[in-house]
Amino acid sequence: MSTDRNKELYWRFMSEVANKGNMKIADEILSPQVKEYEKLPPGYPPTGEGIKRLFAMLRNAFPDLHISIEDQLAEGDKVVARVTLRGTHQGDFLGIAPTHRPIAYEAIDISRFADGRMVEHWGIPDYLTLLQQLGVTRLPGTGH
């Protein structure tokens, strides 16, 4: 599989699953044996089911969620992307009641592909920035 095809699959996953909530596309792109290495919420399995539950939860909490791919690189069977997640907090987010505040935070994703499917994923989201924007946490001495 070419690096361009892998980048296209990653883009399609973000466009259809993350931005539109189309879980049928998730089933097409995620391998049945996909392994998730991102720290998921408690009770979410590190599998395709956990990935789908994560995006469903995010779309419930932030119904206008939009993920933009800012940078994308590919080498071999891996795609690395820097993404920005934007939305408005309108539903429960991990026990945090809706604040109706806009959010924007970044994440770094590394996805490995084999035979046209995502087989591994590592995600590093900037949850500290997200929690600050929701008014949940402040950094000492910064005013933020």
pLDDT, tens digit (0-9, with 9 covering 90-100), for 107-129: 999 999 999 999 999 999 999 99
pTM: 0.91
To 10 degrees, the CA torsion angle through 118, 122, 125, 127? 120
- From start to end of 37-101, where are the E strands? 66-75, 78-88
Average pLDDT over residues 51-59: 98
Looking at residue 62, its pLDDT comes to: 99
Q: Which CATH architecture has domain 3-133?
A: Roll (3.10)
Looking at residue 11, its pLDDT comes to: 98
- Domain parsing of the chain, residue ranges: 3-133
pLDDT at 71 exceeding the cut of 70: yes
Band the pLDDT of 141: cuts 50, 70, 90.
Answer: low
Closest CA to 82 of 55, 109, 103: 109
Locate 88 and state its tokens. 């408005």
